[in-house]
Each structure stands twice: as C-alpha cells, then as structure tokens.
Structure 1
Amino acid sequence: MVNRIAASFDGALPLPRVADRAEWLTERASLLEREKAHTRAGDAIASARRRLPVTPVGPATVVGEDGPVPFAEIFEGRRMLIAYTFMWNHGQPFDAQCMGCTFSASQLPTQTYLSQRDVTLAMLCEGPWSEISAYREFMGWTHPWYSTSAALHNPAVAGEKYLRCYLRDGQDVYLTYEVTDRGTEVMDPILGLLDRTIYGRQEQWEDSPPGWPQGPAGEWWRRDGRPVAQWERPKNQKQHSAEGVDR
C-alpha cells in the first residue's frame, strides 16, 4: 500500500540543493561538530541521571502469568528493572488499543544484552490481566507483562506512558528514573533512523524546508484503523474484545 503522506505529493517529492562532493564534505564536517557536541551533552545528562537520588516504591502487588506477585519479583532476580507503562483502553478490541504504545513495544530489544548488565525489561499496564495477556499473545511479544490494576494507589508503579527505572536491594525497591512524552523516544530506534533521512519523520512539527512531505504527528502509526504493527500478525488470527467475543 502506498504511504498516504507521500501519495499526497503525487510521487513528485521535492529535492534538496545539489552540491559537488567537496562542498558536501565541508558542510557535513560542520554538522558533524554539532552532532559530537550533542553526543557529549547527552553523556553529561546521563552522568547527572546516575547521580539522582532514589525514592522508595513501597508495597505493590502486580499480576502476571503466575498470578499476583510482589513488585520485587518482576526483577527476575536482577538488581535493576526498566519498565514501560502501556496505555490501555479498557474493554476495547485490539485495533482500538494505543497505537503509540504499540509502536514502542514493537521495537523493544530482546532481554539478552540487558541481562549482561543485571537489568530486566518488562511492560506494566493498568488493564486487567485477561485483556492485556491476550493482546501480548496476539502481538507475539515475549517480554513479561504485568497488570498494575491492584497497584493504582502507588504513583511509582501506576500510570500510563511512563518509562521508569528501578533498583532492587533485597525486597526493597526504589524508583531511580521516570520520564514521559518525548522522553520515551529512546524506545523508538525507528525515529532515530528517520531523523537521519532527508525527509525526517515527515511530521508537521518538524522544522523542514518548504515543500517537504509532512502530516500529523503519529498518523503513520495507524493504517486502515489498526496500529501498523498489527499488520504483521496473521490476518486470520482471532481478536477478542474484553468480553471474550470473537471479532
């Protein structure tokens, strides 16, 4: 299917200025200095992040594949936990679930390398276990998921669209970092790759040259009424609503 944003330009996308290789190398070298400064600034921010104080999480119970468990158990024996709080539309079918969270969850790395640094990666969600586990199975995701529906009183565990980091000391758990909105883009390597292309993300908020293809932010995460990642699932695979009725 043709990309709707590109199609609006009838295939005649604008081209940037053409330069010979010598001029291109000069301008590329100038931009490279800015990119290096950006990298060093990011290193300095990461250094400050490692020096943040921590705050106790307190008692919390979540529900996973093995039923209710204390929050400390989802570390799977490791010292650190990275968790994303997936937005859930209660009682809604799969195609009505958050396209942004689905976009991010579909890009998560495997556990393999994180394990080498004593880190577990998990998804938290305020939806009931019966609903979120069905969606996880439908999407073919392998990371552990947990329902936080019994922990909504705990602000360090509950909520939606947060990326959080935790530290475990025995059974004591501490929140070490929390971010939301564009701060979660570290989960989305696709965006970083697009940022390096000539047309970028093709979204209206971007500062691009006149005539560059652009559309509403995040519009391309959904196609024909479904999150794009769902198009990778078998078309004949059944979806279920909250009531368990086949769709």
Structure 2
Amino acid sequence: MTAVNNMNTPPVLPREEWLAAVGTLRTREKAHTREGDAIAAARRRLPMTEVDPSVPVVGAEGRVPLIDVFEDRSQLFVSYHMWHDGHGAAGQCEGCTFFTGQVRELSYLHQRDVTFAVFCQGPFDESDRYRRFMGWELPWYSVPEESLEGLVAGRHFGMKACYLRDGDRVFETYWTTGRGVEPMAPSYGILDMTVHGRQETWEDSPAGWPQRYGTDGDQFRAEGRPTAQWARLAAGHDDDLGSTRARPGASGCCS
C-alpha cells in the first residue's frame, strides 16, 4: 500500500484488492438499504390524526383552506420553512434554504398523486420575494398566527409533514425534523459517497481529513449568507426583501 503525494488519502491498492474492499462494504450498504425499506414499510402502516381541512394559509391568491393546497391530489408533502421576520435575504434560515432549494422537479411527485408545498413562517409578501430571489418554482404559502396551533401544534418550523385527503377530510400521516429531513437534500447523499464526506465536524473520518464545517448553520453558509444565494446575486437577481435588519444568530434549524 502506498500514499499519494503525502496527502491525507486512503491507502492505494491494486484494482482487484480495491474491488474486494468495495464488495465488503457493499454487503453492509445492502443491509442498510433493506432496513430502510423495512422502516418505510412501517411508516406506511402508521396510524394518522385528523386535521381541520379549513385551517387557512396565505398564498399568491390570498387566504385558502388547507384542503385547497392539495391541488386536487390525494397526498400533500409540506416543508415548513423557518423565517426570520424583518431580516434581509442574507439573514434568512440557511438550513431551510439548503433543503428547499434542492427540490426542483415536481412532476415525479405529481405522477404519484403527491403535491409538494412550502409553508413559510413569515409574512407572505416578504417571504415570496425571497422565493422569487432564490428562483424557486414551487407552491409557496405563509402560515398566519391563527393557523399555528392547527398545523404546527407545538412543534417548530424546519419540520416536514405528510398529509392524506379523503374526500373533504384531511389527515396528517407522518412528520419529521432534524436529520430526518435529509432525503430532501441529494447533495448530502452525493457527498456521503465521496472520500471526504460532508466535511462536517461530527463525522467519523480518519485523522487529517478536512472537517471545516460545524453544525450550527455554518455548513450551509458562505461569506455571511446562505451559500446558494451567491449564484443568484452573480446572475443579477435582486435580494431586496424590503427589510433592513441585520442577520440574527445562526439557527441551525435543519442541521
């Protein structure tokens, strides 16, 4: 086994030995996949709880009842997007920006009778300007104060929730938060397959591996703002949300 230019890299093996090592890991990967399938099967068998279908949210057409957000489909996936009211684009939630920004193609969800929507914590006009600045083409709603108990029910924004519509009745079937929202981020799945991984401080990596990111929101920011915003600014998009307050402390809401 040899090193490569004294870098912090794995050992180098002949291809046949390397393939054998990958094969050993593949056995564990397949077991992990099967366990994930079993968990998903259990999730499909969970009981559900009823939700008031008339609870209002605010969208581009004004106030609408929750049941209208389904867009005549039977299922609804809602991403609850945290919002720092009154703060500019640079001060908005880096975690929610990371996860929301990776949901682009909705046709495969629609094919399976699922509507995807974002329920934002902030006022509609201001938060919708953020959506447009980020270039997100997806259903966007604001949750008014009066609807918090019926929808969030003591939890917090940053969570994801799944709903089922049966005629004029609506049921919540599942919700998750924290690392449970990671399926929304293919970037993490791709990074997990690379040799240096996510480069975050919590990871079990060999000594000397780059681990430059913490888990307090730093992993989703670059030079003072959510990382994805830089490309939008470079393309000439205006990030003025009509607010002037400075950015609050990092939220870490989705980390």
The verdict on a shared fold, with TM-score over 0.5 as the criterion, is: yes
Runs of 5+ unmatched residues, structure 2 = 246-255
Give the direction of change, closer, same or farther, for the CA distance of 1:19–1:148 in structure 2 (3 Å limit).
Answer: same
| CA distance, structure 2, for counterparts of residue 82 and residue 118 of structure 1 | 11
Correspondence 1:121 to 2:116: yes
Answer with 235-244 or 182-191: which moved more: 235-244
Q: Is the 8 A contact 1:84 1:164 kept in 2?
A: yes
Task: Give the number of equivalent residue pairs.
Answer: 235
1:133 is matched with 128
Cα distance per residue 1:14-52 (max 9 Å; x no partner): 111111112112111110000000000000000000000
Contact 2:58–2:64 at 8 Å: present in 1 too? yes
- Choose 233-242 or 166-175, whichever is displaced more: 233-242
* Residues 136 and 12 of structure 1, relative CA distance in 2, 3 Å threshold: farther
- Percent identity, aligned pairs only, is 47
Residue in 2 that maps onto 1:221: 220
The offset of 1:131, in angstroms, is 1.1
How far did 1:234 drift?
Answer: 3.6
The residue that corresponds to 1:96 in the other structure is 91
Counterpart of 2:29 in structure 1 is: 35
Once residues 67 and 241 of structure 1 are traced to their aligned partners in structure 2, the CA distance between those partners, rounded to angstroms, is 19
Q: Deviations over 1:157-210 (max 9, x none)?
A: 773011111001122110001000000000001001000000000111000001
Is the CA contact (8 Å cut-off) linking 2:130 and 2:241 kept in structure 1?
Answer: no
Q: Which moved more, 1:70-79 or 1:236-245?
A: 236-245
Say if 1:167 and 1:175, in contact at 8 Å, map to a contact too.
yes
Task: Tell me, in whole angstroms, the C-alpha distance in 1 between the residues paired with 2:70 and 2:149.
Answer: 21
TM value normalised by structure 1? 0.90
Q: For the structure 1 residues 181 and 13, does the alpha-carbon distance in structure 2 shift closer, same or farther, using more than 3 Å as the test?
A: farther
Counterpart residue number, 1:185 = 182
Provide the rounded CA distance (Å) in 2 between the counterparts of 1:242 and 1:230. 17
Matches within 5 A, 1:52-201: 52-58=46-52, 59-149=54-144, 150-156=146-152, 159-201=156-198
Amino acid at match of 1:129: F
Contact 1:62–1:151 under 8 Å retained in 2: yes
Deviating above 6 A after TM superposition, structure 1's stretches of 4 or more consecutive aligned residues are none
AA aligned to 2:227 is V
For 1:143 and 1:241, the matched residues in 2 are separated by 19
Matched, 1:211 2:205: no
- Give the alignment's TM-score, normalised by structure 2: 0.87
Counterpart residue type for residue 40 of structure 1? R
- Residues 12, 120 of structure 1: alpha-carbon distance in 2 compared, 3 angstrom cutoff: farther
- With over 3 angstroms needed to count, the CA separation of the structure-2 counterparts of 1:156 and 1:239, relative to structure 1, is closer
